[in-house]
Each structure stands twice: as structure tokens, then as C-alpha cells.
């Protein structure tokens, strides 16, 4: 195999995207490798973790194919080689190595050993249900629910999202739902969500082939495949959202996202220190037409501020997660957020007044705080 490339960036940019399909702690060493193939005049990358794979063809006039072939090399070594040589480069194979050399300076070169296995298995995607959706709509769905995905492995049954008529994702303390009127019906792992967000094009159509494996194809030939997961959100999850949506709230807050950013961003300094005292939630209080945010942390201090908002209904006092509220601002992309409060124990229902399809069920804590720590001097 041999190719000539006018600039290393032609190969380097798509190579960085391939990291989503390269295993960082592989049981099989070859899963930390990437396949570079030259076939029918097309240069392409392929990598797989065993549960997720990515294929990217590199369509560029800056690549000259001298001799076809394919190699399997360590991903990190290949990244290091491409990033350390500037200008035109040549890539060619010897008996046991892949060489990356500068065209302008023959003394500048990198040598990488080839993997013992010269190929990576591709997932066998059986012809399943085929659906087409625009990249814009698919990105819109994923962005509106994926923020609620669990971030660690403590609840593996929740490490994913359902994409369908009502897309859902949750971590046990919140459930994000988004309705866009699509006929897609699939579940995705947290890893697949992250990979799809990174490879998704700005526009164009996306073709889905949904079976035990899910194939996602883009207009430029890029294909992401991942293993389908079990349905992590049963029908009962949808009924919870529908029940809260039809329930009469005791208070409704309409608050600006700018005010949330200012107040909840300021309280974050306190809550970061408060976690070690078991105070992961802050007080959200409505009284006489005003809404206040308050927290008090032993040995740190007290924070109190007022949100720029209006509310109708009864006075209220609930404990909420400040980080979860801040996450809503990043997703909503609107000037206002509506928060419906039912009681001090019932979950909140958060929505975008300009988008009826997006709702978030947010749990609250019972309004009781740990006893304050008293200094020895006070005894």
C-alpha cells in the first residue's frame, strides 16, 4: 500500500473523529488499532470497540493513490505520527511496518509496527427496519434528552436513551422527554449517543437500519454502527410525563434563562463545597410573588438571591439540584423556562413555553436539612 498526501491534515481531521470507536482498555489489542484501507481509489478508516464501529471514507483530491492495500496500526501511534510531520507526506508499507515520511525531507519519517491481525470484523447488520431522518432533527432529539443520561456506571440499566415517538433519557432523578413526531423506534447506549453527537453532520439526511445492530449512514458515506440495547424506558415512564402534564400545579414559575445562569451559576461555588456535608440540593422558595434561591453550608457560608421571574399560585418551598437546573438552560436555547410545582415532595415538571414537545420531570428532595455543624467554641 502506498499513498501520497499533500497535507497531513487531510488524514488527521477524520482520524480525530475515529477516536469514538477505538477502545482505550481493550481485552484484544487489535481493538486499540485503526484500519487504513485503500480500495477502488478510496482511502478510508475503520475502527471498532466490539460494541460500536465507525467507518469514514476520506474524499479528497489531495490524496494520490499509488498502490492499494490495507493495514492495521495502533491508533495512538498513528495520531502521533501524523501530528508531528508537516506538509506533504507519503504513507507506505514494508513487510512489518507502516512508514509515514515527509515528501520534502526524506530524513523525517515515522515507523509503526503492523498489528498481527490484519483485519477488524465489521458488524453484520441484518436488513431491518429502515428509516430516514434529517441530521438536524436527529441532532435536535438527542440534544434535548441526552443531557439527562447517567454519567457513571452505578445504574447500567439507565445508561442509554430511547429514540421514538416520545424520546426519553433519564438518570433516576430526572427524566427528559422530547416529542418530534418521528417513526423511529430504537434504543442507544450512552457510548453510542456520544459517538453520534461527534460524527453527526450539520445537514443532509441520515439513514437508519434498525435491528439487533443499528446502522447510521450519512450522505458522505460515513457509517456508525452500534449494538442495540434493551428498552431502558418502559411505557410507564411515558405515563408519568402524561400524568404530570395533565395535573393542576399549585404554582407555575416563568423564569428567564439569563436569571437562572446568574443565580445558579453563583451558587455553584457553595454547592461544590456543600456535597461533602451531604447538602447536594438548594432551597427554591416562592413567597409573596418573589422566588428566592438559598443555601447554607457549614464552615463555608450562606448564599441567597432572587430570581428574575414571575409565578402564579400558592407559595412553595422545594429543594432542587442546582446542576440539574443549569443543564436545562443549556438545552432549552430559549429566553424563558416554565417550572410547574405540585408539592414539596412531587417532582417538578419543566418545559419550554415555545416548544410543547420538550418536558423534563425533575425530582426534588424532602425539605429537611442536616443539622448544622457547631464550632467547639460555642459549647
CATH of the domain at 23: 3.10.150.10
Is pLDDT of 125 > 60? Answer: no
Average of per-residue pLDDT values in the chain = 85
**152: pLDDT confidence band, cut at 50, 70 and 90?**
low
Given the C-alpha cell 514494508, which residue does it identify? 94
pLDDT digit string (tens) for 219-248? Answer: 999 999 988 765 556 567 778 888 888 999
Q: What is the pLDDT of residue 321?
A: 85
Q: Is residue 217 part of a domain?
A: no
Dihedral sign for Cα 374, 375, 376, 379, please. negative
Is pLDDT of 93 > 60? Answer: yes
Whether 297 and 335 map to the same domain: the answer is yes
Across the beta sheet with 42-48, what order do the strands follow? 69-74, 33-39, 42-48, 52-58, 223-227, 213-218, 205-210, 129-134
Q: Which range, of 57-71, 260-274, 339-353, averages the lowest pLDDT?
A: 260-274
| Boundary of a domain, candidates 57, 89, 113 | 113
Q: Is residue 373 part of a domain?
A: no
Q: What is the pLDDT of residue 112?
A: 93
**133: pLDDT confidence band, cut at 50, 70 and 90?**
very high
Q: What is the pLDDT of residue 366?
A: 59
Alpha-helix runs per DSSP H in 31-155: 75-83, 135-145
Q: Is residue 251 part of a domain?
A: yes
**272: pLDDT confidence band, cut at 50, 70 and 90?**
low
Dihedral, CA of residue 3, residue 4, residue 8 and residue 10, to nearest 10:
-70
Contact yes or no for 88/7 (Cβ under 8 A) = yes
- Phi, psi values for residue 100, rounded to 5°: -120, 115
* Domains: count for the chain: 3
Whether 255 and 167 map to the same domain: the answer is no
Whether 357 and 252 map to the same domain: the answer is yes
Q: Which range, of 1-10, 116-125, 200-209, 239-248, averages the lowest pLDDT?
A: 116-125
Q: What is the pLDDT of residue 78?
A: 95
Whether 173 and 104 map to the same domain: the answer is no
**216: pLDDT confidence band, cut at 50, 70 and 90?**
very high
Whether 234 and 279 map to the same domain: the answer is no
Q: Taking residues 360-369, what's their average pLDDT?
A: 73
| Boundary of a domain, candidates 78, 113, 148 | 113
Whether 36 and 59 map to the same domain: the answer is yes
Q: What is the pLDDT of residue 80?
A: 94
Whether 233 and 267 map to the same domain: the answer is no
Structural domain containing residue 73: 2-113
Q: Taking residues 107-133, what's their average pLDDT?
A: 80
* d(C-alpha 147, C-alpha 350), whole Å: 14
CA angle 317–145–274, rounded 5-degree value: 40
Q: Is residue 368 part of a domain?
A: no
| Cβ partners under 8 Å of residue 163, min gap 6 | 141, 142, 182, 184, 185, 186, 187, 188
- Terminal Cα distance for the chain, rounded: 80
Q: What is the pLDDT of residue 14?
A: 94
Whether 252 and 341 map to the same domain: the answer is yes
Q: Taking residues 13-36, what's their average pLDDT?
A: 87
Whether 253 and 355 map to the same domain: the answer is yes
Whether 232 and 276 map to the same domain: the answer is no
Q: Is residue 152 part of a domain?
A: yes
Whether 64 and 141 map to the same domain: the answer is no
**273: pLDDT confidence band, cut at 50, 70 and 90?**
low
* d(C-alpha 171, C-alpha 149), whole Å: 5
Nearest CA to 18 among 64, 67, 82?
82
Whether 251 and 339 map to the same domain: the answer is yes
**63: pLDDT confidence band, cut at 50, 70 and 90?**
very high
Amino acid at each position: 500500500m502506498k499513498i501520497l498526501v499533500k497535507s497531513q491534515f487531510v488524514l488527521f481531521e477524520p482520524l480525530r473523529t475515529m477516536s469514538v470507536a477505538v477502545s482505550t482498555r481493550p481485552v484484544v489489542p487489535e481493538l486499540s488499532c485503526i484500519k487504513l484501507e485503500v480500495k477502488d481509489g478510496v482511502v478510508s478508516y475503520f475502527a471498532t470497540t466490539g460494541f460500536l464501529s465507525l467507518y469514514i471514507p476520506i474524499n479528497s483530491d489531495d490524496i494520490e493513490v499509488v498502490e492499494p492495500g490495507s493495514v492495521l496500526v495502533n491508533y495512538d501511534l498513528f495520531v502521533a505520527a501524523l501530528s508531528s510531520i508537516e506538509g506533504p507526506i507519503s504513507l507506505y508499507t514494508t513487510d512489518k511496518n507502516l512508514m509515514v515520511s515527509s515528501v520534502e525531507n526524506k530524513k523525517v519519517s515515522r515507523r509503526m509496527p503492523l498489528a498481527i491481525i490484519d483485519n477488524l470484523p465489521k458488524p453484520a447488520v441484518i436488513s431491518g427496519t429502515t428509516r430516514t431522518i434529517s441530521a438536524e432533527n436527529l441532532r435536535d432529539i438527542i440534544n434535548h434528552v441526552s443531557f439527562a443520561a447517567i454519567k457513571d456506571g452505578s445504574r447500567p440499566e439507565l445508561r442509554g436513551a430511547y429514540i421514538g415517538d416520545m424520546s426519553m433519557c433519564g438518570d433516576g432523578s430526572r427524566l427528559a422527554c422530547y416529542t418530534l413526531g418521528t417513526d423511529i423506534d430504537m434504543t442507544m447506549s450512552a457510548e453510542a449517543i456520544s459517538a453520534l453527537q461527534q460524527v453527526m453532520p450539520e445537514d443532509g439526511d441520515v439513514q437508519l437500519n434498525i435491528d439487533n445492530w443499528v446502522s447510521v449512514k450519512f450522505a458522505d458515506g460515513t457509517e456508525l454502527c452500534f449494538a442495540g440495547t434493551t428498552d431502558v424506558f418502559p411505557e410507564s415512564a411515558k405515563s408519568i410525563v402524561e400524568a404530570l402534564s395533565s395535573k393542576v400545579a399549585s404554582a407555575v414559575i416563568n423564569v428567564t434563562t439569563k436569571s437562572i445562569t446568574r443565580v445558579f451559576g453563583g451558587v455553584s461555588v457553595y454547592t461544590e463545597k456543600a456535597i461533602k456535608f451531604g447538602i447536594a440540593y438548594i432551597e427554591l422558595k416562592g413567597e409573596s410573588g418573589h422566588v428566592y434561591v438559598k443555601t447554607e453550608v457549614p464552615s463555608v457560608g450562606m448564599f441567597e438571591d432572587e430570581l428574575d421571574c414571575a409565578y402564579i399560585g400558592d407559595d412553595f418551598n422545594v429543594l432542587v439540584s442546582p446542576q440539574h437546573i443549569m443543564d436545562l438552560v443549556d438545552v432549552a436555547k430559549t429566553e424563558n423556562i416554565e417550572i410547574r410545582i405540585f408539592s414539596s415532595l412531587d417532582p417538578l415538571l419543566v418545559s419550554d413555553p415555545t416548544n410543547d414537545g420538550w418536558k423534563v420531570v425533575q425530582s426534588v428532595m424532602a425539605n429537611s436539612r442536616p443539622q448544622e455543624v457547631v464550632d467547639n467554641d460555642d459549647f
